[in-house]
Chains A and B, each alone.
Chain A
Amino acid sequence: MQTSLGTKESTRAPEAAAYRQLIGAGSYWMHEVKKGETLRLVDVEGNQAADTLFFNADNPTERYSAIDTLREQGNVYISAGTVIRSDLCRPMLTVVADTVGRHDTLGGACATESNTVRYALEKKTMHACRDSYLLAVTENEHYGLSKRDIGHNINFFMNVPVTPDGGLTFADGVSAPGKYVELRAEMNVIVLISNCPQLNNPCNDYNPTPIEVLIWSEEA
């Protein structure tokens, strides 16, 4: 039932980016992006998952909301044109380019506890995205964030098709080396990415790989 995925190329040149950073699998990246700036995430080696949260930098209690984002656009996938909304239903960012075509926000992040349920009770000490999130909010205590603030994230580059009979499947990735998604900030945002360390899931071929982030300044 999968339909063709709409993609949209960017016109921005990586050489013109004001900021570039590689993020290794299993690490987090927490960074402010100003209103009007553009953020690109690159799936460097393909089939990686970038578990991403957003917070309003001027009031971090306002955060990305999967339910508001999906309901307002009437569709369960994140793709070019998606307006990323907060729990106050306000626009935080807009997806302005996307060479993948579909990103997930129903599958959530891996946690040590959910790993015990999904894979095996003995896997409880394996590294997981939520551990990266918990370390990030604790190490960056000036934001005043805690476990309470860790909502349901976006999984950029992950393909989780929903079927018309109400099933949820974890399909082979539609991403590939060099594919990217680009977002324009509509407010000052804190971006928190856990580059997923999952070793138990075939969706990344059991091989977590780096992603790259680029930021372009506001266009004149």
Chain B
Amino acid sequence: MNDLIYGDTLPGGKHWSMIMRRHTRLRLTDVEGGANVGMLFYNPANLSERYNMPDTLKGQHTFRLRQGHCLYSDMGRVLCSIVEDTTGWHDTVCGNANKALVASKWGETSYQTHSNDWQQNGFDSFLVEAAKYGMGRRDLAANVNWFSKVAIDGSGAMTFDPAGSHAGAIVELRFEMDTLVLLHTCPHPLNPATAYPRKPVRYGILEGDKPSDSDACVRFAAENQRAFENNRLFHCGCC
């Protein structure tokens, strides 16, 4: 079980996309420590259904994402479950660096002068990947930043925690419906590093099973059980 179907390593500062089939798993590894993986999720059968940060946070009463949580779509369904996580805190509030932010933090680069070492940004990366599926800027939403911890204090102030991830850190997602995944390995917008962080991420696509009734993500909250019921209705054509 859970056999590896495919594995690859994305260098830092790159982007890619794929359609994950229901019940397959996506396993991400922070190879060196300090990686960031920006990620967005869509229903390939109806691209207007997408990952919804507010519904995900309020349904599970959380500001951070960690093992046991599910990522909800705006249609009340579970796109994927976080079945393994060795960091305990992933950001989904701070969005992406854009071209101007990358230039102001780490200097201007161009492909002409820097070739593959140009300093790409997460926002433009999502635009490119979204366009492959006929989508544009209007289709973007708040994304997840895997491996990035943004701590918060009692006044609501946010601080990037450089110790939020480590070499070998893992997060594994189990997809609960067919899902289009857009991803980039560009730096988190609040990363205070003095040089452009170019951190590779290994990813594996694995065979998987549907969750049991005692699955930790299903059982995490009554909200999750109701969302899984919405998935069941969706897959039997009842809604």
Contacts and interface: CB of A to CB of B under 8 A. Distances in A.
B53 A75 contact: no
Given A75-B157, A75-B158, A118-B223, A151 B74 contact: no
Q: Give the size range of A's interface with the partner.
A: 35 or more
A65 B155 CA distance: 21
Contact of B93 (A102, A106, A114, A160): A106
B100 A152 contact: no
A81 to B, nearest CB: 13
Contact of B57 (A71, A75, A107, A113): A107
Q: Is the interface of A mostly helix, strand, loop or mixed?
A: loop
A118 B59 contact: yes
B227 interface: yes
B232 to A, nearest CB: 11
Nearest to A70: B93
B62 A148 contact: no
Contacts of B16: none
B142 A66 contact: yes
B48 A162 contact: no
B141 A121 contact: no
A17 B9 CA distance: 59
B61 A169 contact: yes
B63 A106 contact: yes
Contact of A120 (B63, B136, B226): B226
A14 B136 CA distance: 41
Contacts of A117: 55, 59, 72, 76, 223, 226-227, 230
Given A114-B76, A115-B76, A121-B230, 14 more contacts: A1-B154, A2-B154, A67-B93, A71-B95, A71-B190, A89-B100, A106-B54, A113-B230, A116-B226, A117-B55, A117-B223, A152-B52, A162-B63, A168-B63
Interface of A: 1-3, 61, 63, 65-68, 70-71, 74-77, 87, 89, 102, 106-109, 111, 113-118, 120-121, 130, 146-149, 151-152, 160, 162-164, 166-170
